[in-house]
Structure 1
Amino acid sequence: MHHHPARLAWRDNGTPVSTKFDDPYFSLENGLAETRHVFLAGNGLPERLRAGFHVAELGFGTGLNLLALWAAAREAGVAVRYTGFEAFPMTAEEAGRALAPFAEAFPDMVAALVAQWPEAGGRMSGEGLEAEVIAGDARERLPGWDGAADAWFLDGFSPAKNPELWEPELMAEVARHTAPGGTFATYTAAGHVRRALEAAGFAVTRQPGFGRKRHMSTGTLA
């Protein structure tokens, strides 16, 4: 199963940027606020969280979305599960640098993620969290996964720059690995992505995006 190192550059404000996809990993304005708006609120979280709630993500990246989920679960007092799919894992050192801006707010959680960082895929755990990162091309890895997510974070790099993480066949696999009544959220409102998710069986809604992004998309498995 091939996976390749992430290729990173760093902006002056500390934001990591993928040189392969020419796309920042998170909002330059406020990464955590964007994650909470798009991926948590977009999936009806934290309100829907309960013990064993399972979130899956296309594009594990810096682990920021996992961090936000874990913090919300701790606040809600429940233990959650997480599975991330990542073709280009960062090193632990890169992850530590990317998550440094959030270490003050979540010191033990950031430290735990960096200490257990799955450079080649693998498991991480902590109080309130059981996580696994599956390294490799999601188009190869997701079909064989035996899980079903209650919520999906679709956070690959932009569809224009990383089309393979948004193709209709993969969106159909996302739907096949979604629990009944499960949801997805994504920052993109690209028409072809929405149509692929609708074709896969999701009732898709366009929502106000974060910051300067006008629209995002959410959906529920019909």
Structure 2
Amino acid sequence: MPPADQTPETPPELDWRDDVIPVSRRFDDPYFSLAGGLEETRHVFLAGNDLPARLCEGFQVAELGFGTGLNLLALLAAHRGPARVHYTSFEAFPLSAAEMERAHRAFPELDEISHRLREQWATGTRELKFPNLTARIVVGDARQTLPGWQGRADAWFLDGFSPAKNPELWSDDLMRAVAAHTAPGGTFATYTAAGHVRRALADAGFDVSRRPGFGRKRHMTTGRLPGL
């Protein structure tokens, strides 16, 4: 049972590919790249936001779509300095610790930190603490939860399921909420180069760029909010 003040959680509906890659039945989409999930995360979300180079004391990362926690794990593995980083992720259908453990078998190089993540997750807490990072997972539909968030991100990981299959997480209104919760000079990165997503982010105020994608994906999208 979740704590009384915690939003009741709706579990995902999963199939498994190659025994370790979770695939959402609801959205008919895998949680990470079949061609190399960790490599894609590093290419898209870390390099796309110029991380870990930009990390400094109080730096705020925000994310749409926590999924298996892979993006958080990749950031933890890359962040070697003492600067305390804050991480906020919005997730509607959180995996169980057992489901995460199964998915994390695909990334043995992350075993130590993934074990720390799952150990905390299994207790029901959605605030995860690591030596140089604190992560808060906000459970619920981001269209309802993001507007009330009090933070402003220095970097966004936009990692919802495919816009064609999960359009709600890429709507114009939600992209405006992302921009409203971005610090001046803040950035975003996403694997998708869908035209309507790029236009929505540009209309929300970001300077949007198309960059080479990972693997077979020709393009991805990054952007910066003017101000610094």
TM-score in same-fold range (> 0.5): yes
Aligned residue runs from structure 1 range 49-198, under 5 A: 49-73=55-79, 75-102=80-107, 104-117=108-121, 122-198=126-202
| 2-structure distance, mates of 1:107, 1:208 | 29
Q: Retained in 1: the 8 A contact 2:20–2:104? A: no
Task: Work out which of the residue numbers 34, 44, 48 in structure 2 matches 1:42.
Answer: 48
Alpha-carbon shift at residue 77 of structure 1 (Å): 4.0
**How far apart are 1:15 and its partner, in Å?**
1.1
Q: Is the 8 A contact 1:36 1:68 kept in 2?
A: yes
Aligned-pair identity (%): 63
Partner of 1:200: 204
- Alpha-carbon offset, residue 79 of structure 1: 2.6
Distance 1:122 1:142 in 2: 16
Q: 1:16·1:98 contact (CA, 8 Å) conserved in 2?
A: yes
Q: 1:213 corresponds to which residue?
A: 217
Give the AA of the match of 1:117: W
Distance 1:188 1:121 in 2: 31
Q: Is the 8 A contact 1:121 1:132 kept in 2?
A: no
Matched positions, count: 220
Question: Partners of 1:174 and 1:43 in 2: how far apart?
Answer: 15
| Closer/same/farther in 2, CA of residues 121 and 162 from structure 1, 3 Å limit | farther
| Matches of 2:113 and 2:99, distance apart in 1 | 16
CA offsets per residue over residues 124-157 of structure 1, 9 Å max, x none? 0111110000000000000000011100000000
C-alpha change, 1:19 and 1:221, in structure 2 (3 Å) is same
1:16 maps to 22
Q: Which residue of structure 1 aligns with residue 4 of structure 2?
A: none
Task: Provide TM-score, normalisation by structure 2.
Answer: 0.92
In 2: Cα distance, 1:52 partner to 1:72 partner = 17
Task: Specify every segment of 5 or more residues in structure 2 that has no aligned partner in the other structure, as ranges.
Answer: 1-6
1:144 alignment partner, SS class: coil
Distance 1:78 1:29 in 2: 32
Are residues 156 and 120 of structure 1, via their aligned partners in 2, closer, same or farther at CA, if it must alter by over 3 Å?
A: farther
Offset of residue 14 of structure 1: 1.8
Q: Which runs of 4+ in 1 moved over 3 A?
A: 118-121
Normalising to structure 1: TM-score of the pair?
A: 0.95
- Let me know the Cα RMSD of the aligned residues: 1.5
